[in-house]
Structure 1
């Protein structure tokens, strides 16, 4: 063997574009030089200047650096070596080349590596490619290699002539790709220069894959050799025939007529070109006009390998992976089978049948865009073949002859509900449109009364239920088609004396109409226009159609009794309202401006009650979901006259006063008439709220509370609310409170309830002026547990300054101990007790600590009460039997706080300083203040726990334990809980004791209800 070629590429292969532009020959056959080696001959004649320019650019560009992209599907590896121009090209260019290479790697199973250089230059839609190097091998060895390496069962090479030469030639040119097949070059050598290809920059990207399949196979050896470049053939020439047994061995672009044959020239598989590129197929050849190996490409050129393409690659020595066989359908007697990219109409019994063809060439998958064959069946005249565009509601059916050649379309492009398509389903024995039915789909839309409305495919029939037949529904002389009128759909039909009534609806919309049709089903007119489902006219027709058209649960006009209190019943009939006498069942229709009132006519306003009066009717209205009411006065015929009251809230006295007329609780407060609430009954006067106003009753009578001559209304003064009243010599005193601020004031009013003056300004609950008035009201206004001013301590307070370890004993009347430096006190505290109120309990005042941030805990085993405000800590050592519930807390009025005691028993009272339960010195005092402590993990509260602050409470970690006598369960506790303005949850019991949990909201307590234990 000898080296014979180094770079055969020069003239461009004649490919094809949508204008049938030629793509010139992409190889340059080698010639033997004077030393006996082959070298590149002089370039062939360049057919166009543009392509000459491309060839020059390609020659220089492909000598530069390249970027490797390797493609494989497990068999052959194709290394695409993109030069700088190709790497700078649009990504879609490289993607198209790579897709073509992937198709080849999927088709060829040989474990070799082929290196192909790729260039991107020039214009004109052309491309060029060819093998770059090869060797001469003896014909004997080439034939042996082809036969010995053939796929088992592949007999294509058996037709090669015997002997040591072929048509007088003893050597054959073998390109690098074939040398690697037979081990004559390293099978996976990545350093060899195996082939090159150049593509013009203006090739249509939608056709680039087919162009690339054409050129890459040229680079792999799909090229001729022979004169004028040498007398030897290459492997391609062994299968190029001018007649049976006679091969054409020439490399010239002008060549005699030849064809591809795999059996020695007996059978023509494809025709070769003669003037453009003799290695390409002739577009008018038997292989068909759309093969990617053709001389010219068009918009219909296949973008994948055809069967004949694979046969040619097989002839070049490549092992072709067997085509994937897919049974598309096997209903009836014929099986539609896809083999590779082609389709066969096989008999189910014999397993064989013709290939599907169009225009004399086999049909290729994707040839008609998205159209895909989905079914086939043999008929008397040949075959019917059904097609569909997947994902689109488009179908058609071909008629083909007994050889599988397309004849015509039985039906055009139709939707899946086409009667013509569904009629053919029985021929195919197949549900082509996927509606669950083989054949025309029939659905009974309704079968009430004497007529059944039936959908047959895309049309509608008005069938008699007794006979099963009837006319087709028509409009303008043509059958009505589903969807013809947009969303309108027929939902019911019934025969009448003059023909038929047909009801229509837009699904998902409250729109209906009814047609009148003659006895032949032809539309005549609309019985009613477009109406809503509550239309009286529509509901009246329901009895004719024997059908609940609007789906309200009633056939006929819908009647609902809105209310039936008193002597009059307010009745909704369809979309209108009637004022019926309960005794007679009849009454006038409610009217406005001379026309019947229609539901929704006044927006959200809805009538909720009616009652006959001497002059006509009263009609109550409400906006559901809003606290707005009004009442009409109507005459005896139901005509609106005027509004008795304007728009009012449910608490309006005017509205509530009318409830007795209606015999109805209009505002839903549980009372018919004005609602009366006794707010306070301490003393001789009862403060009573009636509706939205307030009365000062004594013995069930008394004046209304007024301001500036008008009745006081709830909410008139913002958050201020009256909480108590008492009759005095000059008239009435009325106490007010603003719950949001905790402020109080007291009015003085005359004997008619008219405001005169404020007896005190806005004050806090600890105001002496307020507390002094409590005895007048006979009421604990500020909720401190006492009516009147709390008594002063009976003994002088004891104060300590600085560090002290003196023990203190409380004896006699409630006493106060003041610790100026709480953190420095380490003495014992003995006899600490009280009655649970501030005035009646011993007290310890800690002015140096901050009350709002107080956190406390008590350890019963040591008697130690630990107090922490976040800055300093005080440890008070108590001697006696105390528990977590023994202490309460309150502010001392100066920023600090007071500890005071709940009732306790069994507290040891040492009588001398030597008592072993106390420290060395015991000081007798007569004052102390107590507050409940909160432990770090568990906070325990007994009744009368006072005002408690808990800091650093951790929901889901800490626990609050409360006596059942305070709150029965967590529900009653949370009902008594609200948030203050600082986001702290405040729990208030019936005795006005409070627990303030700092930096924790009511919502958090609601989420962690298990934090509360009740004992």
Structure 2
């Protein structure tokens, strides 16, 4: 009968039977389950009672107490707690799988601790071929150099069943179990304790159940890491069932003899002398211990003092399983993999060894097994990667290099592993035998890896050295080496495969240079006089073509010569042969090949290339147009083009990279003013007229302003500045000579806000004066198509300092009566206090003060322009001068307003008599604001409506100028003089009833009284 038994964990810590270091064992150990041991606190406990009953009755106890070391290990794990995520590590070589379940203390231990436990588990998994899974708890605690372990669970199985399972499951030819008695009992015992490891072997528990608790081990924190693998082999095999029992046996006890035929069925310490035997006790294989653990080997026994299963370990203890250890495991029922180590290759200090289906990296001359070769943390097994087999290994700085080959495919791979044998990276992967990196690794391995009969790379031929790079040919392949470096550089590759000599027919590489991000490699086809330059990445693989199958004269090829430091096309020079077309100041326009470059004078570097739409401009790209001059300017370059046959010229403006941005002139004739003006920028006679710059003609100089004709355009220059002033414009476009028929400009003067420009039509004896803004653009007409006798024209002569009408005088001629010259006479002008009527509008030159209203005809000040047809009226207002320009048919007039006005300040209407009414659209803006009337000529008339504000007249001339008032302001001259006083500063001040004031500067009230005809009241 198979009876389950359950471990009963004892309540307090035990002084366990640690497997002790001979150097650290100092205390006398006792048996915690021996009733005769007075130091045992459990002598009256349940475990003791069960064993006592067992000895008296011969019946197996239920449940059975676990081995003492199990309790010690379980207590340590329980005290530590679970290890958390990542704490379970599986070790397997295709047969046995050991799940190492590290507790919290073990996870906090140095990585070398877990690595040692894992290596021991790997050795066991490679030694045992049974496809079962064992789950072991691992702890790291305590000091003293000891360790403890044991199985955690099992079942009672009848002896006859155990014997049958051992024999029936034995490997072919294995006679280890033949000497077991054929009876139903063994030394009077009918039951055998079978631990989980054996239960899984025989199918009594799920073979690969990962939920079972199969064993526990604890390790002291001060075990030397160099000895840890041996300690772990010792303890993990305890957890697998290498433990004594009694008085009923476990599987281990079936081979522990005191003498032939007599087995020792007890775990007492000290133990009686016993030994390991497979033939019924007649042949001793190893002696068992007496003082530490009866399942361990005696250090002085026949098996030798270095076995890892010995009672005590030392620095001489082997760190791998011995042949005797394997016999012990075989006797426990485990099937052994072929354990004859096969040395695959010895390279220098490292032997690649196959043990069973696993591979190990052993140190030459060492008795210890090296780390197992692993992939993703698991041991590599033979055949795991198909036809790939490892065939060489060498220890390097921090790990190992391992060579693999696939003979059928003639491919090779080299792994780099860490010091535990786990794959980290590929040095080469599935490369052919010709691979240069593979060949270079042969000197590291001291082995002919590719079977070509040599170790290392073949002799190299330097094809070309360009700067810092050597183009090397080795064994029919090409390499890009750094000059002076002993290392082989990247191999030249195409689509990821090495380029072989002759692969591209008659094309051969003949130069290479390292550049940012990779290499440039030059190829030539000598018979066809063709050249190609590759751009590669840093691994030597083709990325792009810099030039492809071009002739030797190709400009890009020639320009690359300076990068290569090599005459690539064999023309005897390095770099492009440049032709300087023109040097203008600091810039040379150079033709290199069929391209154009904008070079800095004195620099050895090639400047930006002339481009159009982002593409280089080539000779002949634009037909007969050719560039013939260039100059660097702010932000880029100006480039001059000519079309000689058509006598046309174009000037490009480019950015700093030489790319066309805009046209400064386009297909213009040689006399184009803009073209001529650009000659001073280029410092070049662009149009071939023998001069630099525009030929200018001074039409007239008036005071501070010169009217200059440059080419067919007009400019308003400041006298003495040397700078070309604003160009005269109409509707935003430059005015050109002849644009207005026989009308020609003949005088100009700068005024506040812009310029006044005088025009004449000599044949018709007519005159016009423009008012322009500061940029020379027409804003309004001061007079328009008036005769030379026009008073407004004559009054403007004092502003121009020029005899505009050719009458021999500047200003209105002396002797002309005010009535004839001024609109103050009733025949020309009348004012009723609201409406100023101008019978001859073109002759009025006065200024209107306080002009305002509510936007209606009845509530607003008005000017009635007689003879101005409302239906053909055109108007414009100059805010700078306050001038409203009006024209209707052939009639023109200008009204000057004092105040803040705009075009929207006026309404226009038919006066019902064929004329036009100008009405105020808003109240006057003069109130409470001091306004100064300036720039007025002699014989000015000032018309004041009510609420005119505060006015200053700096140049009022008694006897020639006129003041006109509404009778609602002053009834007559007597009322006006009564309202006038001298302010003590030499000025006469007139104040009306609303406290509006007129200040006449440098005029006394006595002068006003003497010239009462200066005042008119309507």
Same-fold call, TM cutoff 0.5: no
TM-score for both structures, normalised by structure 2: 0.38
